[in-house]
């Protein structure tokens, strides 16, 4: 019997609630229904919005509890929560108090996964770092299963996994907050205020992230960002012997670091040069950091030659500073994944600055930035200052447009109280119109960058839909 089937069979004679009928839970729902288990799908979207998905699950025998009261009478024995539903929700608290077991698709995967797991989390860079790790291992000849918050559910793939395979998993704070197990190799890229519209405060956010390593065994490995104050505080709590650090700014005794343009690994008998940073195909200092973290994760499993070949050729992940096209000397980049101010700052710097913070050739004030969307409860003050310093013209759209505009105005007043050099700011409620405005403002040699600093949920289902819409508009420009 396969591991997944065995796990599902243990749920027989129990009533199951699956909260959220999205991508991550769909394979789980299908497995439960195939096993003829009493399953209720709860989703805040109404029946007509779920459409064919709702009809299909009903046909397969699922009960549906949809709409605003989807969490009413939550009396099932086992509750699989969607990542966006916090355990602090009153309905969840009440159900657990009555004896319900609270879990998730990702927790179930960790319970039955037969192979080594490498988990990656952080406020920024986790998707790219996760993808780089998977690419490095594949190029080294390993069988790799890539998934998690990156968009691919892994639970349904368990029976295809062998003990010698490696699962590489991106983990969000929403997935981690209830986790009781940690991966054998854990990577924390960095930590900064994020998702404070969902988490009760920064302490809860940090606590959730810590679950990626807090349940590790002493023989496991954890990687921390030496340049990030919060992750360095984290390191003191890690229960493992093998703590590896990465740094773009400092030499570290145990880990991977950048020094004078070269990436080194400190090893037992001294130093080993891995590669020159300028050989990395992906632009920007933040991508150097992503590679430092990834190299640390696969140290001892991947040769330096494979590291060099991968870094010099891997073209990155869709929607992450993704080059779209060049038209009349203007380059267009899609950075729709940038749903926080810090991600947008990183994207701007990647296209204008080198790893030492110096302007690259022809990089100064060439960016026409398209930003805005739904905010996460994170201040835009720092972003305002960076926009004033590095952006040529700004186009805003979405619910948070006014907040970003205010941050830019305040930053401009601090720099020049009379606003004599105020940045040119344009605003449109329509996303397509905003992109068209940016295109008309751009001149030969400029860069039009979609890097919203916000989530997409005011206008789009997700950042992928927003990024694809941007690319469609750009590719239709004449």
Higher pLDDT, 390 or 140: 140
In this structure, the answer to whether residues 54 and 156 fall within a common structural domain is no
Do 197 and 302 belong to one domain?
A: yes
At 92, which CATH number? Answer: 3.40.50.720
Contact 283, 350 (CB under 8 A): yes
Claim to verify: residue 295 and residue 332 sit in the same structural domain: no
Q: pLDDT at position 179, please?
A: 94
Last residue of a domain, one of 75, 103, 131: 103
Mean pLDDT over 262-288 rounds to: 90
The answer to whether the beta carbons of residues 119 and 185 sit under 8 Å apart is yes
Are 118 and 23 within one domain? no
| Interval 85-115: pLDDT, tens | 889 999 999 999 999 999 999 999 999 999 9
Q: Mind listing the pLDDT tens digit for each residue in 296-348?
A: 999 999 999 999 999 999 988 889 888 899 999 999 999 999 999 988 998 89
Q: What's the pLDDT band for 53 if we cut at 50, 70, 90?
A: confident
Of 81, 103, 125, which marks where a domain is finished? 103
Give the count of beta carbons closer than 10 Å to the beta carbon of residue 469. Answer: 19
Q: Are residues 184 and 241 in the same domain?
A: yes
Does 121 share its domain with 241? yes
- Residue 8, Cβ neighbours under 10 Å: how many? 19
> What pLDDT sits at residue 286?
85
Q: Is 164 exposed, middle or buried (0-12, 13-18, 19+ CB in 10 A)?
A: exposed
| pLDDT tens per residue, range 392-442 | 999 999 999 999 999 999 998 887 665 556 799 999 999 999 999 999 999
Q: Say whether pLDDT at 356 is over 70.
A: no
Q: Are residues 94 and 116 in the same domain?
A: no
Instruction: Output the pLDDT for position 265.
Output: 97
**What pLDDT band is residue 357 in, cutting at 50, 70 and 90?**
low
Q: What is the pLDDT of residues 158-182, one digit of tens each?
A: 999 999 999 999 999 989 999 999 9
285-298 vs 126-139: helix axis angle to the nearest 10?
50
Please state, rounded to an integer, the average pLDDT across all residues of the chain: 91
pLDDT of res. 355? 54
pLDDT the model gives residue 234: 84
CB 246 within 8 A of CB 233: no
Same domain, 285 and 345: no
- φ/ψ (deg, to 5) at 371: -140, 165
User: What integer pLDDT is reported at residue 415 of this predicted model?
Assistant: 75
Report pLDDT for 414. Answer: 84
Distances (CA, A) of 349 to 194, 329, 366: 19, 20, 11
Q: Residues 129, 287: contact at Cβ < 8 Å?
A: no
Q: pLDDT tens digits for 139-157?
A: 999 999 999 988 788 998 9
261 pLDDT more than 60? yes
Question: What pLDDT score was predicted for residue 419?
Answer: 56
Residue 199 has pLDDT above 80, yes or no: no
pLDDT at residue 230 is higher than 70? yes
Q: Same structural domain for residues 274 and 356?
A: no
For the cut 60, the answer to whether the pLDDT of residue 362 exceeds it is: no
The answer to whether residue 353 scores a pLDDT higher than 70 is no
CA angle 349, 175, 288 (to 5 degrees): 25
Q: Which has more pLDDT, 353 or 77?
A: 77
pLDDT digit string, tens, across residues 288-303: 999 999 999 999 999 9
Same domain, yes or no: 303 and 154: yes
pLDDT tier for residue 365 given thresholds of 50, 70 and 90: low
Residue 2's pLDDT is what?
A: 86
pLDDT attached to residue 152: 81
How many structural domains are present in the chain? 3
358 has a pLDDT exceeding 80: no
pLDDT, position 22: 85
Average pLDDT over residues 14-31: 92
CA 314/CA 458 separation, integer angstroms? 33
pLDDT computed for residue 35 by the predictor = 94
Q: Are residues 373 and 305 in the same domain?
A: no
Look at residue 157 in the predicted model and tell me its pLDDT.
Answer: 92
Q: What is the CATH number of the domain that holds 447?
A: 3.90.190.20
pTM, 2 dp: 0.77
Q: Are residues 266 and 123 in the same domain?
A: yes
Strands 144-148 and 262-267, by their bridges, are unpaired
Give the residue from 55, 82, 103 where a domain finishes. 103
pLDDT at site 196: 62
Domain carrying residue 344 = 322-476
């Amino acid at each position: 019997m396969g591991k997944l089937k065995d796990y599902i069979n243990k749920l027989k004679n129990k009533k199951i609630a699956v909260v959220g009928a999205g991508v991550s839970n769909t394979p789980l729902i299908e497995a439960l229904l195939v096993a003829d288990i009493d399953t209720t799908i709860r989703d805040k979207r109404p029946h007509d919005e779920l459409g064919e998905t709702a009809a299909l699950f009903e046909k397969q025998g699922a009960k549906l509890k949809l709409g605003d009261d989807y969490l009413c009478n939550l009396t099932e024995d086992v509750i699989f929560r969607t990542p966006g539903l916090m355990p602090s929700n009153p309905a969840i608290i009440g159900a657990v108090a009555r004896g319900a077991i609270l879990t998730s698709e990702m927790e179930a995967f960790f319970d039955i996964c037969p192979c080594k797991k490498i988990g990656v989390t952080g406020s920024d860079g986790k998707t790219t770092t996760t993808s780089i790790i998977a690419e490095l291992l594949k190029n080294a000849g390993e069988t790799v299963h890539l998934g998690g918050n990156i968009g691919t559910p892994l639970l349904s793939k368990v029976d295809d996994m062998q003990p010698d395979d490696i699962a590489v998993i991106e983990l969000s704070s929403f997935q981690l907050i209830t986790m009781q197990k940690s991966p054998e190799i854990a990577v924390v890229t960095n930590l900064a205020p994020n998702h404070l519209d969902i988490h009760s405060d920064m302490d809860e956010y940090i606590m959730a992230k810590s679950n990626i390593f807090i349940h590790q065994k002493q023989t496991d490995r954890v990687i921390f960002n030496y340049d990030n104050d919060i992750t360095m505080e984290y390191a003191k709590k890690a229960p493992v012997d093998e703590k590896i650090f990465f740094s773009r700014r400092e030499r570290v005794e145990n880990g991977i670091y950048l020094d004078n343009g070269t990436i080194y690994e400190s090893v037992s008998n001294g130093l080993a040069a891995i590669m020159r940073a300028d050989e990395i195909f992906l632009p920007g200092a933040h991508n150097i950091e992503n590679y430092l973290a990834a190299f640390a994760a696969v140290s001892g499993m991947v040769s330096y030659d494979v590291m060099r070949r991968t870094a010099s050729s891997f073209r990155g992940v869709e929607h992450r500073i993704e080059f779209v096209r060049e038209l009349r000397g203007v380059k267009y980049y899609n950075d729709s994944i940038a749903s926080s101010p810090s991600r947008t700052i990183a994207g701007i710097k990647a296209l204008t600055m080198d790893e030492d913070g110096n302007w690259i050739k022809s990089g100064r004030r060439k960016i026409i930035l398209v930003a805005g969307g739904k905010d996460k409860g994170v201040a835009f003050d720092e972003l305002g200052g960076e926009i004033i310093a590095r952006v040529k013209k700004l186009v805003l759209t979405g619910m948070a447009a006014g907040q970003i505009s205010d941050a830019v105005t305040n930053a401009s007043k601090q720099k020049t109280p009379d606003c004599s050099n105020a940045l040119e700011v344009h605003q449109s409620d329509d996303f397509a119109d905003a992109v068209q405005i940016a295109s008309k403002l751009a001149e030969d040699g400029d860069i039009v960058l979609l890097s919203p600093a916000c989530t997409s949920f005011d206008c789009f289902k997700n950042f992928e839909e927003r990024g694809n819409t941007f690319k469609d508009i750009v590719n239709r420009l004449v």
